[in-house]
Chains A and B, each alone.
Chain A
Amino acid sequence: MKKITIYGLILLALATSCRKEKTNWDSDWVVPVVNDTLSFKNLVNDSTLAVDASGFYELDLTRTIIDFGIDKFIQIPDTTIIQDFNVPTTLTVSPGFSIVNQVEEHTLEVDGIQLKKIRVSEGSIKLKVFNPIETIAFFTVQLPGVSKNGVPFLQNYQAPAGTVASPGIATAILDLSGYDIDLTGTDGSAFNILQSKLQVTSDPNGPSVTINGQNVFKVQAEFKDVKIDYARGYFGNLSISDTTDYMLEPLANLTSGTIDLPWSDIQIEVINGLKVGAKATISLVKNTNYNGNTVSLSAPQIGTPVFLDPATGSWSSLVNSTEILAFDHNNSNVEQYLENLGKKHTLGYKIELNPWGNVSGGWNEIFPNSRLKVRIKAQMPLAVGADGLTLRDTFDFNVSQKQNATHIESGALVLNAVNAIPLAADAVLFLMDDAGNVIHTVAGTSPVLSAKSGTVDPSDNLQKMSSEVSFVLTSAMILDLDLIKKIAVQVKLDTPNPQSGFNEMMHIPAGAFMSVKLKARFKLRAVV
């Protein structure tokens, strides 16, 4: 019995010696995270890069700020025209008898504009005929002056029998695309006039019917959502003024620092593709940078109107009329304006049509390809002198792990860069909570060195410099991984001259790039 007790105690000891903690071990991992190449085409993707004769990039910051077509100047309102008639006496109508009404004119309500001809690009007409007699009736609807490819508008309808109180109705909706509309009326000298004509025929196979003055035949035509791509007439003394903003996104992430740009100029082009004389005034050009500093372009041309001749030619032979306002360092503060690195640009303008009145004899014309544009053109060598120019961008981050499950203990992000751009970059990561408070700051162990510190690669004749930068993620940072909801990447840019050690203006060679390979090296603690 004593031995049994001993055995029992031993077994109990064995049974209770089950694991008190989880099994765990560490392993070392390294995985690629980012493999990409930054080039200026990546960074300035909405601009045009050209290569100058010296093999350096030239930056074309041309932006079209205003681009108006015909719809900005002429809108055709939804219009309903109604034509009705009756026979003033009592009349017995035999089968197949026709009654023809004369042409009627209707005014198109377009204030201040005298349209003589238009072409419809889209829109519809809804035709509705009303038959007040007791047999079916055949309606022929004509819109004189409305034609497509030379064929006049003519529609036939069969309306069911009706009564005076409840006429028979026939309805149809027609696409008006491609129709030309002559708005000069029956005598050919008026404007804004639509015409209609109606013929009604009694049922040729029906009985004779008696009609009187109470039997009103009617057609209703609704022009709806009509858009035009051609117009002729006098477009009035229309004036448009506004202030418009546009963003230069690549500059939106700057947070501090200064930049020195080479000599450059700006041109504002006003392009008139309308066969209408116009007057344009640029009233304001300004930009606002990352710290709210605003610089207005100051020059004699600002606020001074320029007169634009009408475009010449027609349809495919249309030739625009263009006026250019040139701003350079002699007549303006354009350099100060550019070096402000504005991300938000504002342009104020006023455009007036027919500033001299109706001097064209009512022969203003707008064609489908007629545009009135204002464009800013800024072309400069892509050269930059950066002194602590700092960009910062923040992105969301959502990775969590549990300490009692398999997790990362510590690690580092290792950046291998080949830099062919004469810019040095010093990066810092800010690990932030949901409210944007910085929990940890991870500075790179060294900067990404400028291409100017490297050697020329004979394969592409680009000067290149390789760098390796580590961002060490300590255990404390990893422990706070659940709290980190945003990561801000801040990069400070300089253009150092390796010989002098000072930042200088550097031209960017064509094809310049920075290849980036980012690896994550970490210690994984497996917990099972």
Chain B
Amino acid sequence: MRKLMLFLVLIAVNDSFAQRFLPQQHDTLVHAHELILQGHYDLSSSSLSRELIQKFVSGGEITNAISDFAFNRHNGINRVGVELSGEIEYRNTDIKFFGKEQYGLVVKGGYTAIGSLLYSKDLFGLVFNGNESYLGAEASLSGSTGSFWAFQKFGIGAIDQKTKSNISLNLYGISSFVTAKMREGTFYQTENADSLSLTLDGGYAASTGANYFKGVGIGIDLDYRMPVEIVKGKTAYIQFLVKNLGAAYLSSPVTSYSANTQLSFNGLTFDQLYGTGSVFNGSFSLSDTLHVDSTSGSGWKMMPAVIQVGKMISEMEDAMVQGFYGIRMYPTLSAVPMVYAGAQIKVNTVSFGVNVSYGGFTGFRAGYYSQFNFKKFNIGLGLEDVYGTLSKKGYGDSFIFRFRCAL
């Protein structure tokens, strides 16, 4: 029902504005004050169905039918990514930054949770189906890796009134950090289940401690817009956008576990079952058995930056149809570069946009947005994955909201 409502809204709204990255519009008007509020939720996967992913967002039971459907669509190596962010930004061109007429002030704050996972089909199978279906077969877990960040941001910077290029220096409060990597991992169990062997070479690290903020970071957001002449006589803008490029110092202990072991297990002997080292009397340690080493400490980590380069829509262009395209990258996450292209149709104050993309955490996606310009403010809603949002069998879920008020 919620999706149906969303779909109807998107169809009904005939005058909204922009999306987070897809696409960005460029205008040359100078506003004394500008307030931008935007939110972005995006789940995308190369193999997981939206129905399954949604269970991790909304909760509830993942039935065998859901997990089996997803399992059958998996390739050898698979990706999933999640991003949830909200940001408020204030721009003031009356304040002359650095004392120069050309530069205004930008102040922003927001919250971001972002993570990705690269994993094998067998890892999914073991986690969601158990090992019964792997009896007599080897499950490969090698190459699986993942990370997750959650942080708050406060930034201050300058905007070029003319080009709208802007840069901000950000301070980050890190509330969560998790990373895991399985360099090599295999699991084998005999067909009659009486013997199993595990090869494990990997690690896991997570920020710990009771403090809400586990560390602080520093970084920049950069939005550089470069005028180019793609079609003779017409100026287009290429945007070079960087978000959250920086590093964080995790002062709360980051507890790391690493294991490099080969383990064979055929079952306990009766002596082990009854003896002083019995698994039932509390003296048994799984981590010792797996030769897991544990360390704890603080240190620097690269922030999960996003880089996007692309041609923008120009608000000043009279053409009814404009195209946009570009590439987006997540350098520190388990994603491949995503290329995208789309077109916008503008009818009076209403714009409709469609786009396609390939890459990132998933494969092919088709997006849609609509935007409307009121006199003093603009509002827009969009989806980066229409099929995923509307169909349980899609590979993700996406919703983008942007509100701008300019005086």
By the criterion of a CB under 8 Å from any partner CB, how many residues of chain A are at the interface?
Answer: 44
Q: Which of B358-388 contact A (CB under 8 A)?
A: 372, 379, 381
Asked if A526 is at the interface of the complex by the 8 Å CB criterion, the answer is: yes
Q: A30 vs B195: C-alpha distance in the bound complex, in angstroms?
A: 10
Taking a contact as CB atoms under 8 Å apart, the answer to whether B61 and A11 are in contact is no
- Residues of chain B within 8 A (CB-CB) of A26 are 64
User: What is the minimal beta-carbon distance from A230 to any residue of chain B, in angstroms?
Assistant: 43
Taking a contact as CB atoms under 8 Å apart, the answer to whether B5 and A10 are in contact is yes
Asked if B35 is at the interface of the complex by the 8 Å CB criterion, the answer is: no
Q: A416 vs B135: C-alpha distance in the bound complex, in angstroms?
A: 17
- Residues of chain A within 8 A (CB-CB) of B282 are 398
A29-B130, A395-B280, A517-B194 as given contacts; A22 in contact with B269, CB under 8 Å: no
Q: A24 vs B35: C-alpha distance in the bound complex, in angstroms?
A: 41
Residue of B nearest to A22 (CB): B59
A32-B195, A32-B265, A395-B278 as given contacts; A23 in contact with B59, CB under 8 Å: yes
- Residues of chain A within 8 A (CB-CB) of B270 are 34, 36, 38, 42
Asked if A4 is at the interface of the complex by the 8 Å CB criterion, the answer is: yes
- Over the window 101-135 of chain A, the binary record of Cβ atoms lying under 8 Å from chain B Cβ atoms (1 yes, 0 no) is 00000000000000000000000000000000000
- Residues of chain B within 8 A (CB-CB) of A73 are none
Asked if B281 is at the interface of the complex by the 8 Å CB criterion, the answer is: yes
Residue of A nearest to B59 (CB): A19
Q: A22 vs B189: C-alpha distance in the bound complex, in angstroms?
A: 31
Asked if B266 is at the interface of the complex by the 8 Å CB criterion, the answer is: yes
Asked if A519 is at the interface of the complex by the 8 Å CB criterion, the answer is: yes
By the criterion of a CB under 8 Å from any partner CB, how many residues of chain B are at the interface?
Answer: 49
Taking a contact as CB atoms under 8 Å apart, the answer to whether A397 and B58 are in contact is no
Q: A17 vs B282: C-alpha distance in the bound complex, in angstroms?
A: 42
Q: Which of B175-231 contact A (CB under 8 A)?
A: 189, 192-196
Taking a contact as CB atoms under 8 Å apart, the answer to whether B131 and A29 are in contact is yes
Q: A42 vs B60: C-alpha distance in the bound complex, in angstroms?
A: 51
Asked if A25 is at the interface of the complex by the 8 Å CB criterion, the answer is: yes
User: What is the minimal beta-carbon distance from B247 to any residue of chain A, in angstroms?
Assistant: 29
- Residues of chain A within 8 A (CB-CB) of B128 are 25, 27
- Residues of chain A within 8 A (CB-CB) of B131 are 28-31
Asked if B56 is at the interface of the complex by the 8 Å CB criterion, the answer is: yes
- Residues of chain A within 8 A (CB-CB) of B9 are 6-7, 10
Most A Cβ at <10 Å: residue of B39, B62, B193: B193
Q: Which of B4-62 contact A (CB under 8 A)?
A: 5-6, 9, 13, 39, 55-62
- Residues of chain B within 8 A (CB-CB) of A31 are 131, 193, 196
Q: A396 vs B130: C-alpha distance in the bound complex, in angstroms?
A: 29
Most B Cβ at <10 Å: residue of A14, A20, A521: A14
Q: A398 vs B284: C-alpha distance in the bound complex, in angstroms?
A: 11
Asked if A187 is at the interface of the complex by the 8 Å CB criterion, the answer is: no
A32-B265, A34-B269, A397-B280 as given contacts; A25 in contact with B61, CB under 8 Å: yes
Taking a contact as CB atoms under 8 Å apart, the answer to whether A27 and B129 are in contact is yes
Asked if B2 is at the interface of the complex by the 8 Å CB criterion, the answer is: yes
Q: Which single member of B56, B267, B381 contacts A35 (CB below 8 Å)?
A: B267
- Over the window 1-12 of chain A, the binary record of Cβ atoms lying under 8 Å from chain B Cβ atoms (1 yes, 0 no) is 001101100110
Q: Which single member of A13, A27, A397 contacts B127 (CB below 8 Å)?
A: A27
A31-B196, A32-B194, A526-B127 as given contacts; A396 in contact with B62, CB under 8 Å: no
Asked if B399 is at the interface of the complex by the 8 Å CB criterion, the answer is: yes
- Residues of chain B within 8 A (CB-CB) of A14 are 2, 6, 399
- Residues of chain B within 8 A (CB-CB) of A23 are 55-56, 59-62
- Over the window 274-311 of chain A, the binary record of Cβ atoms lying under 8 Å from chain B Cβ atoms (1 yes, 0 no) is 00000000000000000000000000000000000000
User: What is the minimal beta-carbon distance from A54 to any residue of chain B, in angstroms?
Assistant: 30
Q: A34 vs B267: C-alpha distance in the bound complex, in angstroms?
A: 4
User: What is the minimal beta-carbon distance from A282 to any residue of chain B, in angstroms?
Assistant: 37
Asked if B395 is at the interface of the complex by the 8 Å CB criterion, the answer is: no
A-B contact pairs, 11 of them (CB 8 A): A11-B401, A14-B6, A14-B399, A25-B63, A25-B128, A28-B130, A28-B133, A32-B193, A32-B194, A32-B196, A521-B132
Binding site for B on A (CB under 8 A): 3-4, 6-7, 10-11, 13-14, 17-36, 38, 42, 395-399, 416, 487, 517-519, 521, 524, 526, 528
Binding site for A on B (CB under 8 A): 2, 5-6, 9, 13, 39, 55-64, 67, 126-133, 135, 189, 192-196, 265-270, 273-274, 278, 280-282, 372, 379, 381, 399, 401
12 extra interface residue pairs, beta carbon distance < 8 Å, beyond A25-B62, A28-B130 = A3-B13, A11-B401, A19-B60, A21-B60, A23-B56, A23-B62, A24-B61, A27-B126, A28-B131, A29-B130, A519-B194, A519-B267
